[in-house]
Amino acid sequence: DSGVTQTPKHLITATGQRVTLRCSPRSGDLSVYWYQQSLDQGLQFLIQYYNGEERAKGNILERFSAQQFPDLHSELNLSSLELGDSALYFCASSVGQVTDTQYFGPGTRLTVL
């Protein structure tokens, strides 16, 4: 158990819909990272927040957005969902810097039908 929690574990929805994925970092960690993992693309970095502020952006689509709240939990919002958005979404947390060890949550499996 990494100490990072993610909800829900599984999500099945239809194209065009909007979903919210939630992540609670390990106690004491200030950074939260979101990754998308699909079979053909591997582990793709989406976005990082540090203490409530966006720190780095990766290959995040405009239809996706995220935020980190004062209690440091984070939410990833995916809208206008497409079939290709079906993937495993991981949240990870670290103490602060990108060079710190990242602890991954169990992931949310999103299926778009």
Residues forming the site for another protein (CB under 8 A): 2, 33, 35, 41-45, 48, 55-56, 58, 90, 92, 98-99, 101-107
Which among 81, 17, 76, 14 is positioned nearest to 45, based on CA atoms? 76
What minimum distance in Å lies between the beta carbon of 98 and another protein? 5
35, 44 Cβ separation under 8 angstroms: yes
Q: Which residue, 41 or 80, is less far from another protein as judged by CB?
A: 41
Nearer Cβ to another protein, position 44 or 79?
Answer: 44
Smallest distance from the beta carbon of 92 to another protein, in angstroms?
A: 8
* Least distance from another protein to the Cβ atom of residue 71, Å: 23
User: To the nearest 10°, the Cα dihedral for 65, 88, 12, 24?
Assistant: -60
Torsion of CA 72, 53, 107, 29, to 10 degrees: -50
